[in-house]
């Protein structure tokens, strides 16, 4: 629970206009200017490291306010431009470009409360050979060092924080034929100055010897260093087909083929940078949100009415079928060492790839989802396995539903709807990501499902 009280001023001015150049062409024009003032903690519990001396210290003093946490950027000028062009009465081309800014999240200042004396967090280890902490005495004083090395959180040494920038661009061609509409679009998003944090900033390079003495700043334990120089890139081909209601049938399908890459993994709030070497943190790789293929198909079909007597009609008529099919490829994930064999504090350590071994298992199963023989410990060196080399299991879900409307005999304006639904109707297992920590007994195995299996639901709804 944050004990900071963060406050921030944000101002924005914009102009926007739609200009119909010709009966077939319309332009959308806009310009926005944002100013994001640095956040201020009025509780005065936020502190950061001052790197102006060889031995950094936490500033300001206890109870003092951390002013000018970073400098203001006065360059957030974001144009927007788009157009819609009716090439034919049934064909429309649309395109657009926009530049957007974001001035940061309060987590950038909230985590600064974790510094001493507010929190003063420590990383302590209970010896495995002769444990100090026991069940009878789980928190002994001897577990804590006399002169502790505190963990710290800090903003960049230069106090610069360029605002997150997103460029979005797209072009769409829409075609109508009969009761059908087909959209084909290209969508691109480029992110710069993305927010993250380097959790292993004070970790030494791999090697033997006392860990604390080898740290870049040995007067502290772990240092979480906020970083605002991440980048990402997304490109996608998006298609959408819709059959509008005819003869009781509506149908829609959407398919996306895309690729997302980034150089940091997660933002500050999402877990921080996935970097192995804190001195070279920006490793380009497929991002954790990368999903190459995604297909969603949905339909609603009101069954035709049977021309029978009223008694039989009350049973045979009023039925509706609907369903949703979701098929999607998995997301990339990392393979890490399960122990601190590199002797770097064990936060993000990757193994080595074994030369000549393929990543795919010879016969994929939940007991060996990938080839575990393709990885080995790296010793006192950074592992050469890239970030996110594997892809999690795909999604395959079919949801079905049957509905029937029953007209109330005593009032034609009222009806009862009976609805039976089957979620994941075929009970297809939706596997979770396998254990990817080298050294675990379950390394390479799937031990759980990512979501519930088949669920059945019966519902009644009364309309009046």
Domain assignment present for 282: yes
Are residues 281 and 303 located together in one domain of the fold?
no
Domain assignment present for 134: no
Domain assignment present for 70: yes
Are residues 244 and 260 located together in one domain of the fold?
yes
Are residues 279 and 352 located together in one domain of the fold?
no
Concatenated DSSP letters for 53-118? SSS-EEES-TT-----SSPPP---EEEEEEEEEEEETTEEEEEEEEEEEE---THHHHGGGGSTTT
Are residues 280 and 301 located together in one domain of the fold?
no
Tell me, what's the pLDDT at 311? 63
Tell me, what's the pLDDT at 147? 73
Are residues 442 and 361 located together in one domain of the fold?
yes
The number of helix segments (H) and strand segments (E) in the chain equals: 3, 25
The residue from 240, 255, 289 where one domain ends is 289
Domain assignment present for 138: no
Residues 6+ apart with CB under 8 A from 284: 261, 262, 263
Domain assignment present for 131: no
Tell me, what's the pLDDT at 68? 82
Are residues 219 and 355 located together in one domain of the fold?
no
Are residues 282 and 301 located together in one domain of the fold?
no
Are residues 297 and 270 located together in one domain of the fold?
no
Are residues 217 and 103 located together in one domain of the fold?
yes
d(CA 86, CA 366): 52
- How far are the Cα atoms of 295, 412, 430 from residue 401, in angstroms, in the given order? 19, 25, 20
Whole-number CA gyration radius for the chain: 29
Tell me, what's the pLDDT at 309? 64
Are residues 267 and 384 located together in one domain of the fold?
no
Element holding 193 (H helix, E strand): strand 180-198
Closest alpha carbon to 196 in 175, 233, 170, 224: 224
Residues 6+ apart with CB under 8 A from 111: 153, 197, 224, 226, 268
* Omega within 30 of 0 (cis) for the link into 60: yes
Are residues 328 and 428 located together in one domain of the fold?
yes
The residue from 263, 289, 315 where one domain ends is 289
Domain assignment present for 3: yes
Are residues 275 and 325 located together in one domain of the fold?
no
Domain assignment present for 142: no
Q: How many domains does the chain have?
A: 2
Closest alpha carbon to 217 in 443, 386, 51, 417: 51
pTM of the predicted protein model? 0.87
> Do 287 and 260 touch, CB atoms closer than 8 A?
yes
d(CA 105, CA 111): 11
The residue from 252, 274, 289 where one domain ends is 289
Q: Which domain holds residue 378?
A: 291-464
Q: Is 235 exposed, middle or buried (0-12, 13-18, 19+ CB in 10 A)?
A: middle
Kindly list the averaged pLDDT for each block of 10 residues, start to end, along the chain of length 464. Answer: 83 96 97 93 92 93 85 92 97 98 82 82 70 79 76 91 95 96 98 94 96 94 94 98 90 98 89 93 95 97 76 73 96 95 93 95 94 96 96 96 83 83 94 96 94 88 84
Domain assignment present for 350: yes
């Amino acid at each position: 629970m944050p004990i900071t009280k963060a406050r921030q001023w944000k101002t924005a001015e914009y102009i926007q206009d739609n200009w119909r150049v010709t009966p077939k062409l319309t332009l959308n024009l806009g310009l926005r200017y944002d100013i994001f003032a640095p956040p201020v903690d009025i509780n005065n519990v936020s502190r950061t490291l001052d790197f102006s001396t060889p031995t950094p210290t936490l500033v300001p003093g206890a109870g003092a306010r951390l002013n000018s946490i970073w400098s203001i950027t006065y360059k957030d000028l974001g144009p927007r431009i788009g157009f819609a062009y009716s090439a034919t009465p049934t064909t429309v081309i649309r395109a657009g470009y926009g530049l957007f800014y974001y001035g940061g999240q309060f987590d950038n200042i909230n985590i600064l409360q974790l510094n001493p004396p507010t929190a003063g967090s420590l990383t302590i280890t209970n010896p495995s050979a002769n444990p100090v902490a026991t069940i009878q005495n789980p928190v002994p004083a001897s577990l804590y060092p006399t002169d502790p090395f505190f963990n710290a959180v800090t903003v960049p040494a230069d106090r610069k924080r360029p605002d997150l920038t997103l460029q979005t661009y797209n072009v769409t061609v829409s075609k109508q034929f009969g009761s059908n509409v087909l959209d084909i679009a290209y969508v691109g998003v480029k992110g710069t100055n993305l927010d993250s944090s380097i959790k292993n900033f004070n970790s030494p390079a791999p090697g033997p010897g006392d860990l604390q003495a080898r740290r870049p700043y040995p007067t502290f334990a772990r240092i979480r260093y906020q970083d605002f120089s991440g980048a990402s890139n997304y490109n996608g081909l998006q298609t959408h087909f819709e059959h509008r209601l005819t003869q009781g049938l509506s149908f829609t399908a959407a398919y996306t083929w895309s690729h997302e890459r980034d150089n940091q993994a997660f933002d500050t709030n999402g877990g921080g940078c996935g970097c192995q070497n804190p001195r070279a943190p920006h490793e380009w790789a497929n991002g954790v949100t990368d999903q190459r293929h995604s297909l969603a198909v949905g339909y609603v079909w009101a069954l035709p009415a049977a021309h029978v007597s009223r008694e039989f009609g009350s049973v045979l008529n009023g039925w509706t079928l609907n369903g949703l099919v979701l098929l999607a490829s998995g997301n990339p994930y990392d393979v890490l060492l399960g122990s601190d064999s590199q002797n770097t504090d064990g936060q993000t350590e990757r193994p080595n790839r074994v030369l000549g071994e393929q990543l795919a298992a010879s016969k994929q199963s939940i007991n060996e989802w990938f080839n575990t023989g393709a990885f080995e410990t790296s010793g006192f060196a950074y592992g050469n396995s890239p970030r996110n080399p594997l892809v999690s299991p795909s999604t395959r879900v079919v949801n079905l539903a049957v509905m029937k409307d029953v007209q109330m005999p005593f009032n034609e304006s009222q009806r009862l709807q009976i609805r039976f639904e089957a979620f994941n109707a075929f009970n297809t297992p939706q596997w979770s990501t396998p254990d990817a920590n080298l050294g675990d007994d379950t390394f390479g195995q799937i031990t759980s499902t990512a979501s519930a299996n088949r669920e059945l639901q019966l519902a009644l709804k009364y309309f009046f």
